[in-house]
Amino acid sequence: MKNTYIKALLATAAFGLFACNAEQQTDNSKPERQEAAAPNIILLIGDGMGVPQVSTAYYFGDEQSNFSEFKHIGLHRTADVTHKVTDSAAGATAFSTGEKTYKRAIGVGADSLSRETILEYLQTKGYKTGLISLTTITHATPAAFYAHVTDRDMHEEIAFQLSEANVDFVAGGGRNFFGKRSDGKNLYKSFLGKGYHLDTVALSTPEFDKKNIFLLADESMPAKIEGRGEFLTEATTNALSYFSNNESPFFMMIEESYIDWGGHDTNKEMLISEVEEMDKTLGLVLDFVKKNPNTLLVVTADHETGGVSLGKYLTKDPKTGRMKEDPTQTEVYFDTDQHTAELIPVFAKGVGAENFQGIYENNEIYHKIRMVVDEK
């Protein structure tokens, strides 16, 4: 009886040991969890675009604005380290480096030393990169993502730094700073020597197995009301097609530049037409995000321009000579032809969009993007 009990006990222990070993073997045989794919990042900047400019899309647009697609909306404060009212250079540098800097600075901190930009950081993570602008591609906003200079007007140096930056897709103006330089250098040869597809005549189909650069104006592109055509939407479509044909994640900055210029010129027609162009471009990008949900889209501006407001539309009564309101219309008013210190809207959609709600400093946009990228 005693021997039978011992045998049963040993058998039970052996079975338990076997079960543990079997469980360990089963656990060890499980495949490791796959890391989530790195998200695409699209930063769409409407230079000079505050809440009143966005509002024109609702009062002057022909269709429902694409801005209505956003559920995650915030505001950012634009002041730089030297001025309460910032410029595009310091504003874009805050986005690109995560640090506030001084007015006119490009890709450098308050100490004038270079800072790594979000574009440069993501290149080290295997990202493809792209830049689109209606201005010269050496202008303050696009330059802040690849260049490091102490003053925004150093266009030839900025152009040289672009030739060394290995950006995969570039579209904008600025031919004069690449081919007609005071130092005699021909930066076109530099791009071609690095295998770029270069076009200075037309927005041709990008070559998917090469880097691409399109420089289609001596300096900035014309305004929409001056006959620019569909450059911004077509360049955005081409860029999204290019990145879709590459397996790597991508970072792209797109700038609608002329909302700012409409404010500087206090030109209502220019401002409205450029916001409409921004809205169309936004629609294209939103379609991409819907089809590619592992994408973060952030839409914002570096500052507001013009002190714009929307108010009563007044006309003169031909009988009395008095001003009277037309209740069926609204008017665009400008308080200044300069930048202002208004808080700027931030619209986000896609992976990590919830991080962009609230009110925060402009340089936090960099850190919020990094949060999304680094947790993947």
Residue 14's pLDDT is 39
Q: What are phi and psi of 162, to 5 degrees?
A: -65, -35
Cβ-Cβ contacts under 8 Å for 250 (sequence gap 6 or more):
40, 41, 127, 128, 129, 130, 168, 243
CA 41/CA 254 separation, integer angstroms: 11
Known catalytic residue at 68: no
Q: What is the pLDDT of residue 61?
A: 82
Q: Which pLDDT belongs to residue 220?
A: 97
Predicted pLDDT at 180: 85
Residue ranges per structural domain of the chain = 42-303+342-374
Which pTM was predicted? 0.90
Q: Where would I find the beta strands (DSSP E) of the chain?
A: 40-46, 72-77, 128-136, 169-173, 197-199, 212-215, 250-256, 295-300, 304-305, 309-316, 323-333, 339-340, 344-350, 358-361
**Is 193 within 8 Å of 206 (Cβ atoms)?**
no
- Strand runs labelled E in 137-178: 169-173
Q: Would you say 255 is a known binding-site residue?
A: yes
Q: Which of 55, 65, 88, 163 is catalytic?
A: 88
Can you give the pLDDT at residue 35? 60
- Kindly list the averaged pLDDT for each block of 10 residues, start to end, along the chain of length 376: 40 38 43 68 99 98 91 99 99 99 99 99 98 99 99 98 99 96 94 98 97 98 97 99 96 99 99 98 98 98 99 92 94 99 99 98 99 90
Q: Is 83 annotated as a binding residue?
A: no
279 is in an annotated binding site: no
pLDDT of res. 258: 98
CATH code, residues 42-303+342-374: 3.40.720.10
260 carries a ligand binding annotation: yes
